[in-house]
Amino acid sequence: MAKVKDILGTLEAFAPVCLKMDFDNVGLLAGFQDRSVDRLIVALDITDEVIGEAIDEKAQLIVSHHPMFFSLKSVADTDRTGRKLTTLLSHGISAICMHTNLDAATGGVNDALAEAAGLTGTALLSQEVFDGNGAPHSYGRVGQLKAPMKLADYLKFIKERLNAGGLRYHDAGRDVYKVATVGGSGGGDLRHAAAHGCDTFLTSDIKYDVFLEAKELGLNLIDGDHFCTENVVTPVLEKKLTALFPEVRATVSRVHRQTAHFI
């Protein structure tokens, strides 16, 4: 039977730790490396609801994108993070978190987002990090649609593909054809999208000044929501883990979801 450390090794081969940003915290963040696993949950975040689901499903492992913590001085049930950790450990559940290394990995968050966005001929948006063989990786992608689309039609397409409750956007009055994508908070990469000659940039967590800059640069800008632009990777992980560990039942969480709502 697969153990936590076996699954960790497979995930880190797919998304090497060397691809993470300096601030990040990835890997086995809580739990038991030698614990056998026959049930795991894949989620974007390890919330109280996801932990409850794992307990109900008798899962031994949660694999998430976002880390449970970046730094800790104590683990106690006196604060929110401590309560999550003590609950996990008391039920024998481990937590593996794959964050910015999964963003940059080939086949990870940003390739999944580019595919969801309908892009072909996908390339790196920039060369931001290098793997152990010296190969470049990026936290974004750039590509083209099969044919130009009106922005209104593309917004409907993206909303459906990301299963988003709503979108924020700037309309630069241009059709959509060459698109840059960054899963999660990517407003700082607007300049890379412009440098590639893109007409449209899809990311999330966009601030006022980035919308203003997009207007001045003449780029369509779409905020697809942090959860929605990254949740595209959870079925990728489910499929990969199911294929590599057929004895383990791996499923995407039924209870994690977009937290922003629209009226």
**Secondary structure (DSSP) of 47-83:** -HHHHHHHHHTT-SEEEESS-S-S--S---TTSHHHH
User: Does the annotation place 56 within a ligand binding site?
Assistant: no
Q: Is 230 annotated as a binding residue?
A: yes
- 6 in a known ligand binding site: no
CB distance 162 to 112 below 8 Å:
no
Which bin fits 205, alpha (ψ -120 to 50), beta or left (φ > 0)? left
The C-alpha R_g of the chain, in whole angstroms, comes to: 19
Task: State the DSSP code for 187.
Answer: G
Residue 225 has which token pair?
């929501």
> How buried is residue 158: exposed, middle or buried, by Cβ count under 10 Å (0-12/13-18/19+)?
buried
**C-beta separation of 189 from 138 below 8 A:** no
List binding-site positions: 65-66, 103, 226, 230
List binding-site positions for a divalent metal cation: 65-66, 103, 226, 230
